[in-house]
Amino acid sequence: MRVFWILYIFLLTGCGGGDSNSEENLTFPYIQILTNQNTQLVTKNVTLTWDSKGAAYCTASGDWLGNKGLRGTEEVEVTKIGTNLFTLLCNGPNYHKEANVEVQGYIIENKSIQQAVGNTSVNRELFIRYPQNPVENQYPLMFVFHGAGGNGEQEMNRHSEILNLIDEGKFIGIFPTGFENRWNVSGETNADDVEFFDLMIAELNNSSIFDTNNTYAIGISNGAGIINKIAKEKDLLKGIAPLMSQQSEPVGDIVPGIPLSVYQVNGENDDLVPIEGGSGVAGTIFMSAQGSAENWAINFNCSMTPNEEEINWGTFEVVEFTYADCLNGVEVKYFIVKDSGHNIQFENQTDIYNQIWEFFRRTTS
């Protein structure tokens, strides 16, 4: 009887000890991969960090390749628009385990900037369009301001010629949206859009890819009005192209701080922004188209006898006036498009935006 109890106690002790040793000897495979950014501009890098336990070796697949250490850090390029998938497969003696991380590649970026409008803080929107394959470390900026009732995204998608210039690497396009879809030139809204331009420049200065010392602007109708105002009040633009609007009389009274090149286009039969000046859209009192161009030219000490030339933009007859010999080599041009109203239908018959860009590069280098 005594022998039986000793044996029974020994068996119980042996079973319990065996289970404990078995748990300690089990292998728990572990793998993790992380990225420092979930979104990134195409052709730029993100940093991947990974760790594994219980594995013998790891390999990469998807949008990166090769043998990888059991843990490490590596910069990888985001090569395409949309999902870039970085997968890591780690293998042990009797298992394999996989982990992955996604990074969204983009060439269009939607940003919001907070601004006080009245007593309310509002989010002001802008769209940034980068080249399809950005290769330079820094690009000039082209702001494009929509007309009344539009928005930045619509304006970005409206002009294929501007997008082509962006994809050629000429500049990065900035397409902001007006508060309540309008720009405050003559009391259209309560927003201070000159301040909004300042805020956009400050935001863009946070990234070295934006050359804010080489900044230009195209504006259409109400958008043309605001770039005239910004150019008069701020020393930030090297060239402007106001299309379908000249300066208002109050803006004309402002003396600009620096010379800049001006490419002004007006329709001969414009009934919203009359080329002869006076009362126009939104109750604005406009200078004449000629008076607005002369105002710029006088401020920049240009020759006040313009060169006049008749040209064609497709089927449209155009009269071109050029004020040259200005300070710092800038120029002032204005165009009267005959038999045209308050529209830019001529853009389908001439490479107007390429002409504007070449004008800016020639006169502001």
β-strands 261-267, 30-35 pairing: unpaired
Domain assignment present for residue 12? The answer is no
Domain assignment present for residue 175? The answer is yes
Positive or negative: CA dihedral 235, 258, 186, 245: negative
In total, how many domains does the chain have? 2
Indicate the Cα dihedral angle 344, 348, 353, 356, nearest 10°: -70
Quick check: 236 and 196 in contact, CB under 8 A? no
Domain assignment present for residue 36? The answer is yes
Residue 189's pLDDT is: 95
Give pLDDT tens digits along the chain (365 positions).
Answer: 444 333 333 333 334 444 434 444 445 578 999 999 999 999 999 999 999 998 999 999 999 999 999 999 999 999 999 999 999 999 988 778 999 999 999 999 999 999 999 999 999 999 999 999 999 999 999 999 999 999 999 999 999 999 999 999 999 999 999 999 999 999 999 999 999 999 999 999 999 999 999 999 999 999 999 999 999 999 999 999 999 999 999 999 999 999 999 999 999 999 999 999 999 998 999 999 999 999 999 999 999 999 999 999 999 999 999 999 999 999 999 999 999 999 998 988 999 999 999 999 999 98
Same-domain pairing of 166 and 270: yes
Cα–Cα distances (Å) from 180 to 117, 123, 125, 183, 343, in that order, read 11, 11, 11, 8, 21
What 3-state DSSP class applies to 1? coil
CA distance linking residue 165 with residue 247, whole number of Å:
27
Q: What is the DSSP string of 71-140?
A: EEEEEEE--SSEEEEEEEEEE-SS-EEEEEEEEEEESEEEEEEEEEETTEEEEEEEEEE--SS--SS-EE
- Residue 44: CB atoms within 10 A of its CB come to 14
Same-domain pairing of 117 and 181: yes
Q: Could you tell me the CATH number of the domain that includes residue 97?
A: 2.60.40.10
Minimal CA–CA distance to 189: which of 120, 242, 245, 237?
Answer: 120
Domain assignment present for residue 332? The answer is yes
Residue where a domain stops, chosen among 49, 77, 106: 106
Quick check: 219 and 243 in contact, CB under 8 A? yes
Angle between helices 222-233 and 193-204 (to 10 degrees): 70
CA distance linking residue 228 with residue 220, whole number of Å:
11
Domain assignment present for residue 14? The answer is no
Residue where a domain stops, chosen among 106, 122, 157: 106
Domain assignment present for residue 211? The answer is yes
Same-domain pairing of 93 and 157: no
Quick check: 172 and 165 in contact, CB under 8 A? no
- As to burial, measured by CB atoms within 10 angstroms (0-12 exposed, 13-18 middle, 19+ buried), residue 313 is buried
Residue 2's pLDDT is: 44
Domain assignment present for residue 64? The answer is yes
296: its two tokens: 């710029």
Same-domain pairing of 220 and 98: no
Same-domain pairing of 100 and 119: no
Cα–Cα distances (Å) from 158 to 125, 144, 233, in that order, read 17, 11, 29
Residue 15's pLDDT is: 40
Same-domain pairing of 210 and 359: yes
- As to burial, measured by CB atoms within 10 angstroms (0-12 exposed, 13-18 middle, 19+ buried), residue 198 is middle
Same-domain pairing of 216 and 330: yes
Question: What residue has token string 């890819």?
Answer: 209
Quick check: 252 and 287 in contact, CB under 8 A? yes
Domain assignment present for residue 4? The answer is no
Residue 54's pLDDT is: 86
Residue where a domain stops, chosen among 72, 106, 140: 106
Q: What is the DSSP string of 268-287?
A: TT-SSS-TT-EE-GGG-EEP
Same-domain pairing of 115 and 56: no
Same-domain pairing of 201 and 303: yes
Same-domain pairing of 261 and 202: yes
Q: How many residues does the chain have?
A: 365
Question: What residue has token string 């800038």?
Answer: 330
Q: Could you tell me the CATH number of the domain that includes residue 155?
A: 3.40.50.1820
Where is 50: in which H helix or E strand? Answer: strand 45-53
Same-domain pairing of 187 and 261: yes
240: its two tokens: 């402007």
173: its two tokens: 């396009």
- DSSP lists the bridge partners of residue 192 as none
Same-domain pairing of 211 and 69: no
* Boundaries of domain holding 87: 30-106
- DSSP lists the bridge partners of residue 335 as 265, 320
